Amino acid sequence: MKILVANLGSTSLKYRLFDFSGGQERLLTRGGFERVTDYGAAIESCLAELKSGGWIQSEKDLAAVGFKPILAKGITGCVQFDERVLAAMETYNGIAPAHNPPYVNGVRIFAQKMPGTPLLGLFETAFYQGAPEAAMRYAVPDAWYQMGVRKWGYHGASHKFIAERSAEMLGREDVAERARRLYIDGGASPVKGPALRVISCHLGGSSSVTGILNGAGIGNSLGMSPQSGLPHNNRVGELDSFALPYVMRATGVSLDEAERLMCKEGGLKALSGGYNDMRDIVSQMKEGNAPARLAFEVLVHQARHWIGAYYLQLNGADAIVFTAGIGENTPELRAAVCQGLDQLGIVLDAEANAQVRAREAVVSAPGSRVKIMVIPTNEELVIAREARRFLEQHKQ
Ligand code: AMP
């Protein structure tokens, strides 16, 4: 069974082709197009590449195309796109203006180009379906809540991958299986040992921390929009909501311009004086650049803030996992996040940590009560797996 996973940006299309034949999971090929102006043409080029590479004979060889939409009103989990799902996404265009409109547009064009192929979406909010309501609410008027002003939580595919893989690495097949089946049975699979408590730190171009109890999310540092929580590369992250009216009234800046500044000129870029890539921030910091150091330290402080929150909510932790571009590749940042936490049972092996970039490893000291792990995330594989489970569950 071959499943294509497509990642749709407003001007980009990236794809990966997976094969699940013979009980295996294989990434066959990957590719992508930037600066896309004609989405239909990009889809045709993608299919042409798959054919010329010999990966498929025709579109009929694709059992499904999987996507990673972020949120829709009243719908989450893994679903087949139809007009009802797309309309539910459009209802929340205002919550995710950078994400929902290009997705809806892209999926509609896929549907025109590939009318016989199931198009499946795994919503990023799915991982938090079982989170306690108190963790997901803001103290706002009910009418706002009814409009979607609540915490949704994102990076669901990435944190689900970490839930599954960390449980496997910790030898907890029961919890790994519970995590795998989460979107099928809502977490009904039994846990055969003590509760497994994992704190997953997805630190990348956009960052979030999640608490995971027995393979399911209990909350996420991203709130209503995917712009909240930790500082992101160019996006502001957490901000007192009264800052916006204050700045707008004081400077006369328009709402559109304030929104642009928060999305494009905020985050690590704002703090560091223009650097939005952790590689540059670390090298600048080593050369004594004080704003770059501040950006690094704010990210570390925020990561610790959220790790602390979930450590308490989970009544401790069995593992802290670092993933995504920054988490996988920046030993300096992992060391700073884990510094001075021995009283909480969190002790890094400094030498092991310094060696690890972009590969799976346990980097805690042998006596550390909490395992500290690096696990490269694989969101596309999660989408392909969920698409496959969906197809098997809905087989006639
Ligand atoms: P992601 O969103 O997971 O693709 O992460 C992208 C971010 O990870 C970039 O903006 C960089 O800040 C960071 N990053 C990527 N590669 C590296 C690397 N080799 N070393 C340090 N940071 C990296």
The number of the ligand 1 atom at minimal distance from the alpha carbon of 282 is 21
Residue 337, token pair as written in the block: 């996040």
Q: Which of 207, 279, 333 to mutate to test the pocket of ligand 1 (most atoms within 8 A of CB)?
A: 279
First-to-last C-alpha distance (Å) of the chain? 16
Using one digit for the tens of pLDDT, what is the confidence trace for 126-170?
999 999 999 999 999 999 999 999 999 999 999 999 999 999 999
Using one digit for the tens of pLDDT, what is the confidence trace for 335-384?
999 999 999 999 999 999 999 999 999 999 999 999 999 999 999 999 99
CATH architecture of 2-122: 2-Layer Sandwich (3.30)
> Given pLDDT bands bounded at 50, 70 and 90, which one contains residue 23?
confident
Which is nearest to 154 in space by CA: 120, 181, 122? Answer: 122
* Ligand 1 midpoint to CA 24 (Å): 29
Average pLDDT, the chain: 96
Residue 362's pLDDT is 98
Query: Could you give the 3-state DSSP secondary structure of residue 361?
Result: strand
* CA–CA gap between residue 305 and residue 295 (Å, rounded): 15
The number of the ligand 1 atom at minimal distance from the alpha carbon of 268 is 12
Residue 10's pLDDT is 78
Phi, psi of 201 (to 5 degrees): -110, 100
Domain ranges (residues) in the chain: 2-122, 172-379
> Given pLDDT bands bounded at 50, 70 and 90, which one contains residue 210?
very high
The number of the ligand 1 atom at minimal distance from the alpha carbon of 206 is 2
Residue 203's pLDDT is 98
**Angle at 219 (CA atoms; ends 362, 129), nearest 5 degrees:** 115
> Hey, how many other C-beta atoms are within 10 angstroms of the C-beta on 312?
11
Nearest CA to ligand 1 atom 16: 325
* Ligand 1 midpoint to CA 278 (Å): 6
Least confident of 4-18, 169-183, 273-287, 365-379: 4-18
Pocket lined around ligand 1, Cβ cut-off 6 Å: 204-205, 233, 277-279, 324-326, 329-330
Which is nearest to 159 in space by CA: 348, 382, 363? Answer: 382
Q: Which residue has the tokens 């060889």?
A: 61
Using one digit for the tens of pLDDT, what is the confidence trace for 47-70?
999 999 999 999 999 999 999 999
The number of the ligand 1 atom at minimal distance from the alpha carbon of 205 is 2
Q: Does domain 172-379 have CATH number 3.30.420.40?
A: yes
* Ligand 1 midpoint to CA 325 (Å): 3
Q: What single-letter amino acid sits at 204?
A: G
Residue 20's pLDDT is 96
* Ligand 1 midpoint to CA 394 (Å): 38
> Given pLDDT bands bounded at 50, 70 and 90, which one contains residue 395?
confident
> Given pLDDT bands bounded at 50, 70 and 90, which one contains residue 9?
confident
> Given pLDDT bands bounded at 50, 70 and 90, which one contains residue 27?
very high
Phi, psi of 132 (to 5 degrees): -60, 140
* Ligand 1 midpoint to CA 203 (Å): 8
Average pLDDT score over residue span 7-34: 93
- The model carries a pTM of 0.97
Using one digit for the tens of pLDDT, what is the confidence trace for 80-127?
999 999 999 999 999 999 899 999 999 999 999 999 999 999 999 999
Nearest CA to ligand 1 atom 15: 325
Using one digit for the tens of pLDDT, what is the confidence trace for 241-253?
999 999 999 999 9
* Ligand 1 midpoint to CA 105 (Å): 28
User: Residue 396 above 80 pLDDT?
Assistant: no
> Hey, how many other C-beta atoms are within 10 angstroms of the C-beta on 347?
18
Residue 50, token pair as written in the block: 């798959």
> Given pLDDT bands bounded at 50, 70 and 90, which one contains residue 78?
very high
User: Residue 233 above 80 pLDDT?
Assistant: yes
Residue 11's pLDDT is 86
* Ligand 1 midpoint to CA 333 (Å): 12
Nearest CA to ligand 1 atom 4: 325
* Ligand 1 midpoint to CA 202 (Å): 11
Q: What single-letter amino acid sits at 55?
A: W
The number of the ligand 1 atom at minimal distance from the alpha carbon of 330 is 21
Taking CA atoms, 366 is separated from 144, 195, 201, 373, in Å, by 49, 22, 21, 12
> Given pLDDT bands bounded at 50, 70 and 90, which one contains residue 184?
confident
Q: What is the dihedral of CA 92, 94, 100, 106, to 10 degrees?
A: 110
> Given pLDDT bands bounded at 50, 70 and 90, which one contains residue 304?
very high
Whether 2-122 and 172-379 share one fold: the answer is: yes
Using one digit for the tens of pLDDT, what is the confidence trace for 256-277?
999 999 999 999 999 999 999 9
